[in-house]
């Protein structure tokens, strides 16, 4: 179960990295990096989804 909590926060870290990548590309070239934005938002969504699922799973036990 400890690994699941670790990966839960890894989603948040990767989401922040992808969003940082999108912002840095936008400021450097003016192009919008849609894949980076999509991956960043998806990773942050997965963080909250996994967090809710873990709480529901722990509550069940």
Q: What is the mean pLDDT of residues 20-49?
A: 95
Instruction: Check residues 55 and 5 and name the one with the higher pLDDT.
Output: 55
Number of structural domains in the chain: 1
Tell me: the pLDDT tens digits for 1-13?
Answer: 677 778 888 999 9
Cβ neighbours of 8 (radius 10 Å): 17
Residue with tokens 């590309």: 25
- Where in the sequence is the domain holding 54, given as residue range(s)? 2-60
Short-list 15, 6, 5, CA closest to 46: 15
pLDDT band at residue 61 under the 50/70/90 scheme: low
Which tokens belong to 41?
């938002």
């Amino acid at each position: 179960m400890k690994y699941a909590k670790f990966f839960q926060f890894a989603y948040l870290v990767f989401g922040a990295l992808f969003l940082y990548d999108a912002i840095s590309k936008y400021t450097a070239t003016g192009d919008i990096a849609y894949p980076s934005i999509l991956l960043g938002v998806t990773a942050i969504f997965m963080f909250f989804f996994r967090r809710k699922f873990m709480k529901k799973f722990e509550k069940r036990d």
